[in-house]
Amino acid sequence: MNKIRKGDQVIVTTGRDKGKRGTVVQRVDDERIVVEGVNVAKKHVKPNPLKGSTGGVVDKTMPIHQSNVAIYNAATGKGDRVGIKLQDDGKKVRVYKSSGAEIKA
């Protein structure tokens, strides 16, 4: 079970974008995620007349390692760690480590 999923609000804990908040747009693989508005790089793109696209410099959101982000806890207004708790019916749910409250996704 992934502790950080697509659609989660996360806050960046390290790196040049430290403190920025955004939504997870996609999971690239088991370790890397793409967060909206975080780790934006300039990409030089060639024009492609077949697709009708013009060339130039484009902003592209690059993946970031999931260990560099923490899930955003709206109750505290800070980043929080994620734990996994087993419910009575045998289902696994994600919970905030600080409060034990279930993460709504």
- Give me the amino acid identity at 40: V
DSSP letter string, 62-80 = PPEEGGGEEEEETTTTEEE
β-pair type (32-35, 21-27): antiparallel
Q: Is the pLDDT of residue 90 over 70?
A: yes
pLDDT recorded at residue 28: 96
- Give me the amino acid identity at 73: N
- Give me the amino acid identity at 55: G
CB 59 within 8 A of CB 42: yes
Predicted confidence band of residue 74 (pLDDT cuts 50, 70, 90): very high
Q: Is the pLDDT of residue 54 over 70?
A: yes
Q: Domain extents for the chain?
A: 9-79
CATH 3.40.50.300 fits domain 9-79: no
Predicted confidence band of residue 11 (pLDDT cuts 50, 70, 90): very high
Q: Is the pLDDT of residue 31 over 90?
A: yes
Give CA–CA dist 105/41, Å, rounded: 29
pLDDT recorded at residue 20: 96
Predicted confidence band of residue 105 (pLDDT cuts 50, 70, 90): low
pLDDT recorded at residue 1: 73
Predicted confidence band of residue 79 (pLDDT cuts 50, 70, 90): very high
User: Computed over its alpha carbons, how large is the radius of gyration of the chain?
Assistant: 17
